[in-house]
Structure formats: structure tokens, C-alpha cells
Amino acid sequence: MEVKAEARKYYEIDCDALVVGVFEGENPNQGSLAEIDKRTGGVLSSLIETGEFTGKAGENAYLHNPGDFRARRLLFMGAGKQDEFNTDIVRKIAGTSARLLRSKKARTFAFLRRSQLPIGESACSATEGALLALFDPDKYHTNEKNENHLETMLLATTEGDADELMRGVDRGRIIADATNLAREIINEPSNVLTPSELAKRAEEVAKKHGIETEILDETQMKEFGMGALLGVAQGSAQPPKLIVMRYTSKIRSDETIAIVGKGITFDTGGISIKPADGMEKMKYDMAGGATAIAAMAAIAQLKPPVNVLGIVPATENMPGGRAQRPGDVVRAMTGKTIEVINTDAEGRLVLADAVAYARRLGATKIVDLATLTGAVSVALGDVYVAVLGTDQTWIDQIIAAGRKAGEKIWQLPLDKEYRDQIKSEIADIKNIGGRKAGTITGAYFIREFVDDTPWAHLDIAGTAWNENTKPYLSIGPTGVCVRTLVNLICE
């Protein structure tokens, strides 16, 4: 779908549908709404007077032959309370309208801007919202695909604002395309998306956007002594890959940010095998890795003035005659020994070697993302991503970037006292910390391998998969944190 600026008066825009946001409690006889109401012949005021439409977020009213408009339909969208309006509501309104109008077989639709938000930001959010909403994970349906006739979204503006608006649209498209790329990769079944295939996709992305990649194979992992990653991988017939993507800023910078994403292309649990019920969902255990790859795609296009590494330890976690056993002791790249109590706590094992490798490659700051623990859903549900880390400034920046992106991130503590839970009798540490504070002990384990490099860990196990369709989002992978990371790195 194309997104264009349209400098005509809203009632002169030729389109299938014109979308107009209305605030909760807004008076249809005052201000700009009065003119719109008049053009509908008073239909808007009667919708409001009868209480059929109040402007609450999520409400809508859809009119055919709406009156004195070039548009053939009018879609009023509830925009919620005026003083609570923000870019995330723009995203949701744009997304809901796009999905609704797609189902009404519209080809072109236009948005009337009725808020005081900066035009670039609001255009960026509207573009993101619409493009994210139109993604559907239906690649493998051979029929029953969602019919989509949408060709163009028009953003009403004035002549003077068109450049700023289009800059917002371009950024919104880069970010939404990256997020949808992550969703597409996450949604792939594990028989298609093996570690080698994930590496291939990363290489394709890098090539397309002109950045470097390096894929480490098993032999190289052995040379580096990556015993934690190799221990997880040894149970699988699929060879593991350590994917490294590298964006180098044209403007010299001493800063190298590493985005490290968990890339378990299928998590059976290994010998500590998971129950059958729901196990199919464990194809999304590479969501952190896909997010890192997708964020690199956007970063390569937005060209921030810092160097960025995308690092994905990719492997399956399988049971079998060669699989690692509970009780095994492995040695990570840093030399630290790990007692593997539960082979299902494999994410932290592969990340241990991946964050160490990030440091070796010169990372000055690390952010890792992982579908690491079921416990994060118990703590925060599917609403908040958990962040934990060693550097409060870095954590605060991540939370702020999330807020701007419309992604909620909540910090959990990581005090020294929690380390007791991962003490081992026979090795330096063990890979699980018992029933209590599972998300924290999981993060603490990774902390043991980052040393003094400023580091933050995002646990996206509760938020990377949407269980129910929302008006602005399909069921399935959400691509959570792509937007946060891009906002974090590309101001």
C-alpha cells in the first residue's frame, strides 16, 4: 500500500473513505467538527446525541454517501479523551481503520488530521499503524487469504507541511516493514526456518541494505570455546549458526551497540522435555533473533551515527542420543563453567556465549532480547516487556524509547542477593534458579557473561505472540521491540 500526502481540503479528497477522528465528549456544534457535521447534514450530531457514537477509543461509525464530501464513505473513529491523545492512539486508529476498510473492499482512504501532534510524528505513527495492521500471517493458506484491495492511504495536509509529513511517512514505512519482516520470520514453521535458513535470511537482509554479515559455524564456535552454545546445539541434526550483522556508521563513532537476540528455532526443552500441549508455539523461540535481524534492516536504512552489531545464536533445542543431559557441565567462552540442571533453560546458555562474543567484537553497550522465561508472563502478562540490567541510564533510555514506540517496558530488579539462587555445588553457576523470581534469575545468569559492559536484557516471552486478534493487530507474532530498538538507536 502506498502512503501519500494530499494537500487538498478534506472534503475535496477523492477516495473510497475519509477517516475522521472524534474525541470523547467533543461537541459536534463547535470548532472544526461543526463544519464536518454540517456537511453530513447533521448525521454526526445525531450519532452523538443518541449515544450511538461517543468518541471513546475503539468506537466507530461508518456512513455511505456521507453528504457534501468527495469521499464516498465516511468513517468516524473514536479518538478517546483529548488530553490523553498520543502517537500510540494515532497508530491504533490508523490500524483499526485500515483493517476495517480492507474488509469493506476500499481501495483508497484518507486521514484527516485533527490533533496538535507534530505532523512528522503523527504521519510516522499513522503509517506504522496501518502497515502493521495489514500484516496477516497467512502465507501458508492456499485459499481463504484476506482479500486486500487497499492501494493508497492519503494523509491530508497543507502545502507547507508536505515535506515534513513525507519524512515521517518514510520513517514509518522503514520501521513497519522491519517489524513485519520480524513477524514473517517468527511465523515460519521450524521445518522451514532452521538455523541455516535464519542465517540465510539475515544475509539476504544485510545484502539488500548494504551491511556486512558473518556466519560462524560449529568449527569456529569450537575454536572460540563456545561450550554453552554448543551444548544446546549438540542434540540437533541441524547445524548451529552464530549470525553476526554489522552496521558501520559513516560518521566515526567510538560507540558500538550490540543487539543480541535469542535464536532457538525450535525449543522442545531437550531432555527436560516440554509437555506436548502447546509445544507447537515454541517455533517462536527465535523471536528475539528475528527482532535483532529486523532492527538491523531498519538501522541500515536510517543510518544512525553509531556502530551497531546484530548477533543471533541460532540453534534448535532437541532431545536425542547426542543431546546434553541434566547434570552436564559445560564451559562457556569466557571460561566460566555451568552445570546444566534443566536443558529447557537453553536460552540463557546460548546467550551466555553470544554476549561474550559481542564483547569480543568490541561492543560498548549490549541489549539482548529473548523469549527467555514463562515466568515473565506470570509477572507482567502480555502487556509489558520486562527489562533488567546493569546500567540504569541504558535501561532508562530503553524504557523511554519503548514509550515513544508505544511498547510498554517494565523494569524488574537484579540485586546481588538473587545470585545465590544460581550457585552450583560443582560448577561456577547452574542454569536454573528454582521456582522463585524466574525472570530475574534467568537474567542474572546472562549478567554473569557481560562483565562490566553496560547491558540490558529484554524478556519478550509474554509479548512476542498475540493470542487473540485485536482490531489493529492480527493474531500471531507481534514483532515487539523492533520499534523500541529502532527508536533507541536512530533518534
| Positions marked active-site | 274, 348
Stretch that binds Zn ion, among 182-190, 347-355, 386-394, 418-426 (CB under 5 A): 347-355
Judged by CB under 5 A, the residue of 347, 454, 477, 479 near Zn ion is 347
Amino acid identity, position 242: L
According to the 3-state scheme, what is the secondary structure of 225-253? CCHHHHHHHCCCCCCCEEEEEEECCCCCC
126 binds, among ligand BES, Zn ion, none (CB under 5 to 8 A by kind): none
Element housing 221 (H / E): helix 218-224
Closer CB to ligand BES, residue 374 or residue 413?
A: 374
What whole-number distance in Å separates Cα of residue 217 and Cα of residue 462? Answer: 31
Nearest to 215, CA basis, from 246, 197, 241:
241
Binding site for ligand BES (CB under 6 A): 267, 285, 342, 344-347, 371-375, 432, 438, 461
Query: Closest CB to Zn ion among 264 and 323?
Result: 264
SS3 454: coil
Nearer Cβ to Zn ion (350/380): 350
Q: Where are the alpha helices (DSSP H) in 383-464?
A: 392-405, 438-447
The least distance separating ligand BES from the CB of residue 465, rounded to whole angstroms, comes to 8
481 contact choice in Zn ion, ligand BES, none (CB below 5 to 8 Å, kind-dependent): none
Q: Which is nearer to ligand BES, 301 or 317 (CB)?
A: 317
| Dihedral sign from CA coordinates of 418, 422, 426, 428 | negative
Indicate the residue among 319 and 347 with the shorter CB distance to Zn ion: 347
Closest to 323 in 3D by CA, of 239, 195, 232, 218: 232
Q: How far is the CB of 419 from Zn ion (least distance, A)?
A: 21
Binds 375, which of Zn ion, ligand BES, none (CB < 5 to 8 A, cut-off by type)? ligand BES
Supply 100's cell numbers. 476495517
- Cβ of residue 339: shortest distance to ligand BES, in angstroms? 13
Q: Which of these ranges, 180-188, 240-248, 284-292, 458-466, lies near Zn ion under the rule CB under 5 A? A: 284-292
267 is a site residue for Zn ion (CB under 5 A)? yes
Q: Which does 230 bind (CB under 5 to 8 A by kind): Zn ion, ligand BES, none?
A: none
Residue 317: CB minimum distance to Zn ion, A: 6
Minimum separation from the CB atom of position 327 to Zn ion (A): 17
- The item of ligand BES, Zn ion, none sharing an interface with residue 342, based on CB under 5 to 8 Å by kind, is ligand BES
Among ligand BES, Zn ion, none, partner that 189 touches (CB below 5 to 8 angstroms by kind): none
Cα dihedral value 80, 83, 89, 94, nearest 10: 70
Nine-digit cell string for 454 = 553496560
Nearer CB in complex with Zn ion: 26/344: 344
Q: Is 410 exposed, middle or buried (0-12, 13-18, 19+ CB in 10 A)?
A: middle
Strand, coil or helix: 67: coil
CB 68 within 8 A of CB 35: no
Closest to 75 (Cα-Cα) out of 131, 17, 33: 17
How far is 21 from 19, CA to CA, in rounded Å?
Answer: 7
CB of 270 to Zn ion, least distance (A): 7
Write the DSSP symbol of residue 15: S
**Cβ 461 to ligand BES shortest distance, Å:** 4
Per CB under 5 A, 128 contacts Zn ion: no
Closest CA to 128 of 137, 120, 139: 120
Let me know the angle formed at the C-alpha of 59 by 466 and 172, rounded to the nearest 5 degrees: 55
* 52 versus 280: smaller Cβ distance to Zn ion: 280
Region from 30-38, 291-299, 343-351, 381-389 binding Zn ion, contact rule CB under 5 A: 343-351
What ranges make up the beta strands (E) of 227-340? Answer: 241-247, 256-261, 263-267, 307-317, 329-331, 337-339
Residue 338 Cβ vs Zn ion, minimum distance, rounded to whole Å: 15
> How many secondary structure helices (H) and strands (E) does the chain include?
14, 20
- Scanning 105-113, 283-291, 303-311, 438-446 for contacts with Zn ion by CB under 5 A, the matching segment is 283-291
**CB of 15 or CB of 464, closer to ligand BES:** 464
CB 69 within 8 A of CB 18: yes
CB proximity list for 217: less than 8 A, separation 6 or greater: 239, 240, 241
The residue type of 97 is: S
Q: Residue with CB nearest ligand BES? A: 374
| Residue 288 touches which of ligand BES, Zn ion, none (Cβ within 5-8 Å per kind) | none
Nearer to Zn ion, 373 or 453 (CB): 373
Which H or E run contains 207? Answer: helix 195-209
Q: Which does 454 bind (CB under 5 to 8 A by kind): ligand BES, Zn ion, none?
A: none
* 235 near Zn ion (CB under 5 A): no
| 285 contacts Zn ion (rule: CB under 5 A) | yes
- Least gap, CB of 246 to ligand BES (angstroms): 27
Count of CB atoms situated within 10 Å of the CB of 234: 19
Q: Does 344 sit near Zn ion (CB under 5 A)?
A: yes
Total of chain residues touching Zn ion, rule CB under 5 A: 6
> Which positions touch Zn ion (CB under 5 A)?
264, 267, 285, 344, 346-347
